[in-house]
Structure 1
Amino acid sequence: MFPNALRDGRLVAAALLVVSTFALGVQLLNPPELVVAGGDDAALETVGYYFRYRDAIVVAVSAAVFGASAAFLALDAYPSDSEEKRSLETAVADSPEAGTSDGPGASESADETARRTRWEETAARLADTERIVYETALEADGEIAQREIVERTDLSKATVSRTLSNLESRGLLDRERRGMGNVVVLQ
């Protein structure tokens, strides 16, 4: 995972996010004070807090780096359509059935292999609870009752339902109403 994160730039973006957050915090929480020594009585008086040009530049640059790295990390979390299409094309091209035309059964097998490969790649990109729920559906060949996910995992009904809603909103699965319950179907 570490080499992939470094190659993709996620590790660098995360480091920049931490550094810029620290720099912003230091600059904004500790502004310089303007102290004025007055006349004959030699009393020091704090007039106010003013940022110097250097401080303003540090804040502006840190804010820009913070925004850019946060946006990169947020947008990088979800694969683009072109990435999914490319991974599907690679899976189909690399499958042993690719290039053989032994009738309709060969293309169905190639489609199943490509679909399973795509599901496994998607599962590898998910984190924590989402991965557990997705892999449980994957182990059931892409179709499982929602109540079975609750039974097979140590997750509560609410957690499974919330996680499925998140995955469904990202287009990774569908929930179909069947009878009294839902059936989860991977996309």
Structure 2
Amino acid sequence: MVLRVLQNTRLVTATVLVASTVVLAGQILNPPRIVVAASGAGADVTAVGSYFTYREIGVVAVAACLCGASAAVLLLQHRSSSAPDPGQSRALTDGRSTLQRSDDLLEARRREWEETTDELADTERVIYETVLDADGVRAQREIVEETDLSKATVSRTLDTLESKGLVERKRRGTGNVVMLL
């Protein structure tokens, strides 16, 4: 849940960053032109040049502040999410590499996934094990090819596995990629 809140915060912050950057660039690149007109016998209308009004200066200042603040928040969130937790720092001081930690994590996840396999129905188990054999990520069309199940059966079974919170499908091009959770 914390991860979803963090992702939503990043999305809002990134949206503010993009919007403020667009407003800032638009204001700076397109300053208003001031036109002076004189009335009388030799009336002439002349464009004096590009000058900002107080309103536009305020818009530029607010957009610049929002741009800087949202960029700083995104940077700090990225650094804090990539910082190792205390357990990981202990593993680093033990001399274990990042690759070793990811292998350990994969093995732990694999054990969890294998325990889950025992609780599934036949078709669910076949599809789940197919994804498990691919280290938790497999294209949906490859599942159809490897299991000799119909597209409809694979799709319905993946719906069931998704509703149980065991897999997630992500759209990739014209197909789906199935990932174990």
Name the TM-score, length of structure 1 as normaliser. Answer: 0.45
Q: Mark the structure with the bigger radius of gyration.
A: 2
Name the TM-score, length of structure 2 as normaliser. Answer: 0.46
